[in-house]
Amino acid sequence: MNSTLNYLENKFGPLMPLEGLAEILDRSPQGLRVSLHSSSPLSDSINATKCRLGRRIYFRTEAIAALIDSDDWEA
């Protein structure tokens, strides 16, 4: 396991809440919601990791770590 994945899993577990992802990306939760509704390669990649549990939105921590570590990450 790489250090990014270790850090994120220790902090959030296997599923990261929207507020946690906003914290990692240094954005407000509402600003992140708006960004994820746009059509860009980054938002499409992040939305592909999304899962819903009830009314809550979570993101798969392992997939977010892989996105952060990838070469085409543009935050």
Residue 56, pLDDT > 80, answer yes
**pTM recorded for the entire structure:** 0.87
> Are 69 and 4 a contacting pair, CB within 8 Å?
yes
Residue 47, pLDDT > 60, answer yes
pLDDT tens digits, residue range 16-30?
999 999 999 999 999
- Which H helix or E strand runs over 7? helix 3-12
Q: Could you tell me how many residues make up the chain?
A: 75
The burial class, CB within 10 Å (0-12 / 13-18 / 19+), for 64 is: buried
